[in-house]
Every structure is written in C-alpha cells, then in structure tokens.
Amino acid sequence: MATVHYGRLHGQLGFAQTVAIKRLHPEYARDPEFLTMFLDEARLAARVQHPNVIRTLDVVADEGELFLVMEYVPAVSLSQLLRASQTSGERPPPGVSAAIAADVLRGLHAAHEATDEKGGPLDIVHRDVSPQNVLVGSDGAARVLDFGIAKATGRAAAVTREGKVKGKFAYMAPEQITNVCVTRQSDIFAASIVLWEALTGRRLFEAESESALLARVLSARIDPPSTVVPQLAPELDAIVLRGLARDLAVRYTSARDMARDLELSVRLASASEVGEWVERLAGDELAQRAARVAEIENASRSERALIDGILLGALPAPREDKSSEPQPAAFATPPKASAGRTRFRRNMLALLAVVFVGTAATAAAVFGGRAAPLHAAELKPLSPRAQPIGSSEIGTRVAGTAPLPTAPTPTAPAVAPPAQAALPKRGRSQEPTAPQTRGSVERAFQCDPPYYVDSNGHLIYKPECFP
C-alpha cells in the first residue's frame, strides 16, 4: 500500500536527521478505507515507545498525498535474511533465531500494553506479524514495524468490514481466520510461526492454493522444530509448541511471558553475535545503503554549514541567484523548495540583526553605564539582499558614539522616520513645542529605547518617541 523512501528531516538551527518516509500509493490515497488504515498506523505506532518497535515521527499531508515519517534504521527484513540463509546453506544459529524472536515478542508486548492519552488501554493487536515486518539491524536488535492493519478499541468497524480477512494467510492464527476473536494471543501465534521458520529454515504452512493453506493453518499437525533440526533443545521445542497451540487456554497469554521463557531456557545470542550474522548475510546491501545515506547527508551538509555560518555571523548572506553553482542531478532542488529556503535565510538574517542589536544594547547598559538611545535614522530595516552589518560597526552605533541630541536644534537636518514606523497623524498646523514637564520626562524615559521587539521577532518603533 506504500513505497518507502529515504528522507532528511530538517529542524531549526541546522539540525537534520535521516529518516524513512512511507508514501501512500495514489490509488490507495483515494480509498477512504486505506486512508483510514494509513492514518491509524501513524496514530497507533506513535503510542508505542519501545526499542524493538520502529518509531513514528510525523505524518505529512502535501498536495493530496500522505507521508508517514519514521526513524531510519540500517537494517534488513528477516524474510530477506532467511532467503539469504537458504541460498548460502547456512541455517541461522538457534541462539540468533531465539534472540530475534525475543526482541519481536518484547516489541509486541509494548504494543499490547499501549495506552491512549488518558491512560486507557488501546488493546492493539498487530495482526500482521511476519518475517517481512521484522527488521534486524547491524546493531543486533530486531524491530517490529507496520501497524497498518492493527485492531484497536473503537476503530475495528472502520478498518475491517464484516467477513473480510486481513493479513498474510501463512502467519494467521486460527481464530483470526475464522473471525472468532483477535487478541494479543493471535500475535503470539504468528511470532511463534516466525520462530519455527527461523529455527528450521523452512516454511511451516505451505500449500498450492489459499484455501488449502487456510485449511492447513486450521487443522494440520504442527511438528516440533527438532524434527527438522535434531540438535535443538527440548526446552525450545516446548516453548515453540506452546506458542503455536490452537487452544487459547494452552497458548501463552502474554508475549513477555514467552520472551522470558526463551531467556531462561535457551542461551540467546548477544547483540554483537546477531549483528555479525546480519553483516555476514547482508553486509553488501547494508554497505550500499550506508553509502547512499552518506551521499544524501553530504548533499545537505554544505547547505546546513552555510546556514550555520550565517547564524554565527561568519559568512555573508547568500546571493539569491545560485544558477552558477553546480548541483548534483540526483539532488536538484525543486524551485518551490529553493524559494522556501531563500525566504528562510532572509528571515534568519533579519532576526539575527535584531537579536544582535538588542544583545549589544543590554551589554552596554550593564558594563558601560546607561547606553545612549539609538537614533531613528540608525535603525534602518535590513534589506534581504544587503550584506550583514559588521560587528564592529554595530558595536560603535550601540555604544553611543553618535548620541541623539537632547533637544532638537534649528540647524539639525530633519530625520526621516523609518518606513515601517507608523507615525501619529497631525493636523494641518503644527503647534509649538511645549516646555518639558514631568509628563514629558516620563515619556522620554519610556522612549529609551524608542522601540520594542514583538513576539515574532519584529522591531516595532514607538510612535510617541518621534515628535
């Protein structure tokens, strides 16, 4: 129902992170059922916070499309690893298979115990646990992903129509096929199938047709893994068969309980051992992905460094025309995105100038006595294309080397107020200036400084300070 892309998540002040972006196919985006499923995946996955679950970071809607932003993990699916293992003739070590299954069970338990904002249980059931939805990374950790067809309280009717079965038939629990009930025990059954196949290197339920496959899931005999791999421990057989019990009274009621039994009965492989196994089977692909991620990150590093340099005052403002700068074809910036970045840089330059002036004025008041008020003519708006004012020049102006005269003189040239300042309206005739009183002294004090900075970072002049 979606395609997964590489992406870069850009934050403020140059922060950036490589992410995975799931993009819903256009034909599904027009289907209300799939649209609901896609959004529910984000809502439910965001409530599950666990190291063995892929985290959902954001949902973005743009021009009729939906994008699910998830954390990027250098990992490959368990299904891919099992295929590579069959090709190489190297069956996964039992400790590695058990360690992966234990991670999956821990992640599922976190989903089963997830709550809503008020602390009420969500009763999440993944309903699609399979090797395709398990990622195993070079760090040796296994993570569950794709809660797109999960069932939770209050939304079953919106996603599952009556009589409609969802999931992969070969990994369904019997009660899921018959629509009797779907609980967390259904996920345990599916996870036990995954463990059985990882231990043996074979498929547990196979058939030539879907109807025959469903019949096997419902009634076929399930042999212990040791019938295929005799060296497996009897304790491991007992754990797997209990997880595959069709009788709900016999099957594990908690994924955490099954994971605990695996930890106590079998020597689980360490994270480094699992990581080495992944590297051995999928090292080339992981290296290609790492190179691709490095290429993407390097493409944005120069721009991020440019923004950082501007914010720190070490670099001049960038020119708007960048047509002469070479850009890799694979990362050509669309015109819309380029314009957005240009506006961002202009805004940051203007904000930087305001913050710098305010900081310098405060420092002058603290360390050098009361600073002289800034003259209105010196508070010129920063042009988007203007080069930033040097720190020495700003310091000279703020320090008061050009102080404002205490009273206007007939020979002083008229100072034009800034364009942004909204001056008070006057009548046709101007009255003579009244002698200074206590009120005028208070007004003069309030005009030091003759401006203020609003909540958006804009410099606003006080009209009463410019008679």
pLDDT in tens, 27-70: 777 777 777 777 877 788 888 889 999 988 888 877 778 888 99
Strand partners, 143: 135
For residue 103, pLDDT beyond 70: yes
Active-site entry in 103, 123, 128, 146 = 128
Q: Tokens 């699992």, residue?
A: 274
* Sequence-ordered alpha helix ranges (H) in 49-91: 78-88
* 228, HSE (Cβ side, Cα atoms, 13 Å): 16
Q: What is the pLDDT of residues 293-329, one digit of tens each?
A: 998 888 766 666 665 665 555 555 555 544 444 443 3
pLDDT of residue 28: 77
User: Which residues, in sequence order, are CB contacts of 149 under 8 Å at separation 6+?
Assistant: 37, 127, 128, 159, 166, 167
Residue 331 has a CB neighbour count (10 Å cut-off) of: 11
By residue count, the chain amounts to 467
Average pLDDT over residues 387-396: 41
Taking each helix axis from N to C end, the angle separating 255-265 and 234-243, rounded to the nearest 10 degrees, works out to 170
Q: What is the pLDDT of residues 241-259, one digit of tens each?
A: 999 999 999 999 999 999 9
User: Which residues, in sequence order, are CB contacts of 333 under 8 Å at separation 6+?
Assistant: 327, 341
Domain map (residue ranges) of the chain: 74-287, 335-404+438-467
Smallest CA-to-CA distance from 177 within 127, 222, 220, 129 is with: 127
- Which tokens sit at 65? 């499309």
* CA distance linking residue 449 with residue 446, whole number of Å: 7
pLDDT of residue 238: 96
Smallest CA-to-CA distance from 282 within 74, 100, 81, 73 is with: 81
Lowest average pLDDT, out of 128-132, 312-316, 369-373, goes to 369-373
> Judging by DSSP bridges, how do beta strands 2-10 and 16-24 pair with one another?
antiparallel
Average pLDDT over residues 140-145: 95
pLDDT of residue 39: 80
DSSP 93: P
Average pLDDT over residues 129-145: 94
Domain 74-287 grouped into CATH 1.10.510.10: yes
* CA distance linking residue 406 with residue 379, whole number of Å: 18
Q: Tokens 């996955």, residue?
A: 45
pLDDT of residue 230: 93
* CA distance linking residue 244 with residue 232, whole number of Å: 17
Smallest CA-to-CA distance from 177 within 101, 228, 246, 234 is with: 246
pLDDT of residue 456: 63
Strand partners, 3: 23
Lowest average pLDDT, out of 114-118, 164-168, 192-196, 223-227, goes to 164-168
Q: What is the pTM of this model?
A: 0.64
The per-residue pLDDT of the chain, averaged, comes to 74
DSSP 249: T
Smallest CA-to-CA distance from 217 within 244, 252, 183, 180 is with: 244
Q: Per mean pLDDT, which of 96-105, 141-150, 156-165 is the most reliable?
A: 96-105
What is the torsional sign of CA 290, 291, 296, 301?
Answer: positive
* CA distance linking residue 349 with residue 355, whole number of Å: 10
Whether 128 is catalytic = yes
Average pLDDT over residues 397-416: 42
* CA distance linking residue 256 with residue 266, whole number of Å: 15
